[in-house]
Structure 1
Amino acid sequence: MVRVRFAPSPTGYLHIGGLRTALYNYLFARHTGGTFILRIEDTDRTRIVPDAVENLIRTLQKLDITFDEGPVIGGSYGPYIQSERLDLYRKEAQKLLEAGFAYRCFCTPETLAQMRAEQQNKGEFVKYDRRCLSLTPAEIQAKLAKGEPYVLRLKMPETRIFRFNDIIRGEVEMDSAQSDDQVIIKSDGYPTYHLASVVDDYYMNISYVIRGEEWLSSMPKHLWLYECFGWTPPQWVHLPLILNPDRTKLSKRMNDVAVEDYLEKGYLKEAIINFVALLGWHSADDREIFSLEELCQEFTLERVNKSGAIFDLNKLNWMNGWYLRNLPLDTIVERSKPYFEKEHLAIPDSDKLTKIVATARERCTLLSDLVQYSKMFLCPQPLSTESLDFLKKEDSRKVLSWFQSHLPSGGDIDAEQLNQLVQQGIMDLGFKGKAFYKPLYLALLHQDHGPELPAIFSILGLKEVHHRIQEVLEL
């Protein structure tokens, strides 16, 4: 049975890198009929951000990424928040201590800082020098009796090549000589990531660990913990880095943007999911447009690349524009309404709003762009001095007066009828191009460009068209 987990720390809001890890775990679980678990790793108490867990769950829900077990909904392997599992970690750490795989370290932060500085000055590899490993039982008891704070460290083998199979990278070898004697229980009694994640993955029966490439360097410690406990490790999957277009590591400016911020800016959830899915994975036929349901059907770990994935904002914008134009019109209309409210614009009646969005989405990228585009219809900007001067010219007034007298006073006018009227006006007045169209656009939209006239007339309606033309004629 496939069981995978997304295990973020509540030290900030959900970002692109974290979303990709969550998404790949989710897609793999859905593709294989497995179970997707959310686990909150909150053992670093100094870095916890208030509301981070709520933000994370809320953001995943907005993106339609659902988990089968986790906080709030529960499950058979809970609790799913690490700070509620402390007794388990301490029990397992005690086993390591009693078996000689871990030891107490009483070194103060000042002692450790001095040790590291000396190692750096000598050009040595910086790691704990095991000075507390040589303490006798009597010395340890004396320190404990005095209440000296301590941590538990994992005693790593000094000369050991760890080998494991990574589904993306194949066979991997790592030398334990580059691994420190990692702290596994801190002086506050909380475990570090390394102990807690291994213990939880075992007790939650996790079969595949799918996480970022940055955890590769920790593999010797994690494999050693599995060996010390006598447990069978899961399958390993380390996802490639996400890179800038110039192939440097993804800049903080890009990666530190919370996923919720993208949603608030007007990116569609379908586009975000589709875009993030392609940050490292590709289909057999190199398609680029996938619904979430299609991704669940197509996704396999074997098609995840080993090389870094490029975060190209231009591609995300292109993809969002595609979804803006191709999702059902009523869906886009409904999702646009909060953006009108945010701009304190009165939402027009359903028919008018639908017409505006239908026209605007062909020319916009984000949901928020729809609102800006609609302002020419709902609340046009005041005419500039230059525009006013142009409209006061005799030729401009001739065009507007002709339209005012030839347009029907009420009812509707369809595109074919309007085009015939425009051709008649060009013939009657002898104007064409800018001289004919610019006065109309300035009068109707207060700008000299916009959609085709039939779309403008359909959105405004004949009554409003007459009103706006008359306002200009009365200048």
Structure 2
Amino acid sequence: MSNIRTRIAPSPTGFLHLGTARTALYSWAYARHFGGEFVLRIEDTDVARSTQDSVDQILASMQWLGLEYNEGPVYQMQRLDRYKAVVDQLIAEGKAYYCYSTPEELDAVREAKKARGEKALYDGTWRPAPGKTLPPVPEGVKPVVRFCNPADGDVTWNDLVKGPITISNREIDDLIIVRTDGIPTYNFAVVVDDWDMQISHVFRGDEHINNTPWQINIFHALGATLPQFGHCPVILGDDGQKLSKRRGAVSVTAYEEGGYLPEAMLNYLARLGWSHGDEELFTREQLVSWFDGTHLNKSPAQWDPAKLLWVNAHYIKQADNTRLATLVAAQLVKQGVTLSDEVVASHLPQVCGLLKDRCDTTVALATWAAKFYSDVAVDAAEKAQHVTDAVLPAIAMLKDKLTSCAWDKASIAAATKEVLAANGLKMPQLAMPVRVLVMGTAQTPSLDAVLELSGREKVIARLAMG
């Protein structure tokens, strides 16, 4: 397949939400699979609600996910002259017209049609037709521009996800393509953009299905090549309702801040509406090699936070310890613990390697790692349960031995075994109270590894608390 060009076109009216991120991923993977190109377009014609902060957040989200684009970002508000030229062409060809109906007049028409049990479509007052006399142009009224939608016939396309879809032209009316302020509307600008950018395949949410007939008719009116459309089902939240910006869907960057890895998010998002056999875990490279636009689900997917955590835990276990240390250091700062560059480069990677198997986010990993770099609050109940009078002599003996032994896992393990033998104890009887005193909890990785990374001075001081 040649000349594949896909795009993602978010509007900067808020954060990049999860549904748009998934669409971006599918568009990116499809282009990469076929050796094509992926375009980023910022649809910022909603001037009142578009913000630079939202643009910055969208760009940061794309970068974090690693969805590299070949072109862009292209901003619609920088293309107003192009839209005007196309509108002028349509008007000159009789395929679009000025409409001077006021909002009050349009409301009255809609109400009258509803009262008659008719669909509340525009009545065509200002639509030119052979032999028709148009009303006089009212003074002081700024017109919109409407597209002459075909009055009859059907619009049919073979959707890449849904299969064949047909919508009658009688179900849609003459779309406004330019507002009174001269700014083009979404359904018009997107067609001109996709035409100019030679977009071959459009993946998007299925809330756009009802927009597609208008867009196809505009493509035809322009004599432009029609892209193939694939409408992906919505993502449902825990409550079974659609995830959306206005219903509190979490942003992509919030997951980065929450300690998720981008490869985990990519893996999870890809599976949320697409499958390759029974594969649950796969790399970016595998996704690109498999994603040919088939096997996309027709029904909505359910967002499952527990499943995402499971996927993230898998990738944390696989992650390089030095990389994890950089991520964990940033999380530690948020927890009030700032480490030197030397510690982040040399010691923290070892801590991450020791702890990562029991953590599902870098936030959780940082919470564990903080025990090595800050004062530990020992839970009174755990101390009372494990640090009993019977074990205090063994703790004191271990403290003495650790004061003078070589500071490595083997030497610490040997000292611990000597204390166990001298006091007739089994490992849990000594290890649990030592863990409570040193780490604040009885459940930690192997004792010798924890003590080695905690450092002699800190271990001795904490054992003295017994």
TM-score, structure 2 length as denominator?
0.90
Q: Deviations over 1:226-257 (max 9, x none)?
A: 22222231222222222236754336688621
Residue of structure 1 in register with 2:437 after alignment: 443
Work out the CA distance in 2 between the residues paired with 1:30 and 1:226: 26
- Shift of residue 8, structure 1, vs aligned partner: 1.6
- Shift of residue 100, structure 1, vs aligned partner: 3.0
SS state at 1:104 partner: strand
Work out the CA distance in 2 between the residues paired with 1:210 and 1:393: 64
- Shift of residue 137, structure 1, vs aligned partner: 6.1
Work out the CA distance in 2 between the residues paired with 1:253 and 1:88: 32
- Shift of residue 356, structure 1, vs aligned partner: 1.4
Residue of structure 2 in register with 1:238 after alignment: 231
Work out the CA distance in 2 between the residues paired with 1:164 and 1:98: 28
Contact (CA 8 Å) 2:431, 2:447: kept in 1 or not? no
Work out the CA distance in 2 between the residues paired with 1:354 and 1:138: 76
- Shift of residue 321, structure 1, vs aligned partner: 0.5
- Could you say what the CA RMSD is over the residues aligned between the two structures, in angstroms? 2.6
C-alpha spacing 1:391/1:25, structure 2 compared with 1 (3 Å): closer
SS state at 2:26 partner: helix
Matches within 5 A, 1:371-450: 371-386=366-381, 393-407=388-402, 409-415=404-410, 418-419=412-413, 421-432=415-426, 435-450=429-444
Residue of structure 1 in register with 2:85 after alignment: 91
Work out the CA distance in 2 between the residues paired with 1:254 and 1:292: 30
C-alpha spacing 1:85/1:351, structure 2 compared with 1 (3 Å): closer
Q: Kindly indicate whether residue 263 of structure 2 is the aligned counterpart of residue 263 of structure 1.
A: no
- Shift of residue 372, structure 1, vs aligned partner: 0.6
Partner residue of 1:361 out of 356, 361, 378: 356
Q: Identity over the aligned pairs, expressed in percent?
A: 32
Partner residue of 1:219 out of 204, 212, 217: 212
Matches within 5 A, 1:287-366: 287-347=279-339, 349=343, 350-366=345-361
Contact (CA 8 Å) 2:97, 2:128: kept in 1 or not? no
Instruction: Tell me how many residue pairs correspond in the alignment.
Output: 459
Q: Deviations over 1:109-129 (max 9, x none)?
A: 233334434444554322222
Contact (CA 8 Å) 1:355, 1:458: kept in 2 or not? no
Q: Kindly indicate whether residue 462 of structure 2 is the aligned counterpart of residue 465 of structure 1.
A: no
Contact (CA 8 Å) 1:380, 1:446: kept in 2 or not? no
Matches within 5 A, 1:155-174: 155-174=148-167
Partner residue of 2:103 out of 106, 109, 116: 109
One-letter amino acid of the structure 1 residue matched with residue 14 of structure 2: G
C-alpha spacing 1:381/1:190, structure 2 compared with 1 (3 Å): same
Work out the CA distance in 1 between the residues paired with 2:193 and 2:128: 31
Q: Kindly indicate whether residue 57 of structure 2 is the aligned counterpart of residue 55 of structure 1.
A: yes
- Shift of residue 434, structure 1, vs aligned partner: 6.2
Work out the CA distance in 1 between the residues paired with 2:208 and 2:219: 16
Residue of structure 2 in register with 1:77 after alignment: none
Work out the CA distance in 2 between the residues paired with 1:203 and 1:312: 39
Contact (CA 8 Å) 1:390, 1:396: kept in 2 or not? no
Q: Deviations over 1:294-334 (max 9, x none)?
A: 22222110222222223211111111110000122222122
One-letter amino acid of the structure 1 residue matched with residue 101 of structure 2: C
C-alpha spacing 1:115/1:388, structure 2 compared with 1 (3 Å): same
Contact (CA 8 Å) 2:17, 2:245: kept in 1 or not? no
Work out the CA distance in 2 between the residues paired with 1:455 and 1:174: 67
Contact (CA 8 Å) 2:8, 2:24: kept in 1 or not? yes
User: Which shows bigger deviation, 173-182 or 112-121?
Assistant: 112-121
Work out the CA distance in 1 between the residues paired with 2:409 and 2:103: 79
- Shift of residue 55, structure 1, vs aligned partner: 1.9
Work out the CA distance in 2 between the residues paired with 1:431 and 1:413: 23
Q: Kindly indicate whether residue 246 of structure 2 is the aligned counterpart of residue 250 of structure 1.
A: no
- Shift of residue 10, structure 1, vs aligned partner: 1.4
Partner residue of 1:229 out of 215, 222, 225: 222
- Unaligned stretches of 5+ residues in structure 1: 72-79
Matches within 5 A, 1:135-214: 139-140=135-136, 142-143=137-138, 146-214=139-207
- Shift of residue 419, structure 1, vs aligned partner: 4.6
C-alpha spacing 1:112/1:305, structure 2 compared with 1 (3 Å): same
User: Which shows bigger deviation, 62-71 or 264-273?
Assistant: 62-71
C-alpha spacing 1:410/1:123, structure 2 compared with 1 (3 Å): farther
C-alpha spacing 1:177/1:354, structure 2 compared with 1 (3 Å): same
Contact (CA 8 Å) 1:395, 1:435: kept in 2 or not? no
User: Which shows bigger deviation, 318-327 or 247-256?
Assistant: 247-256
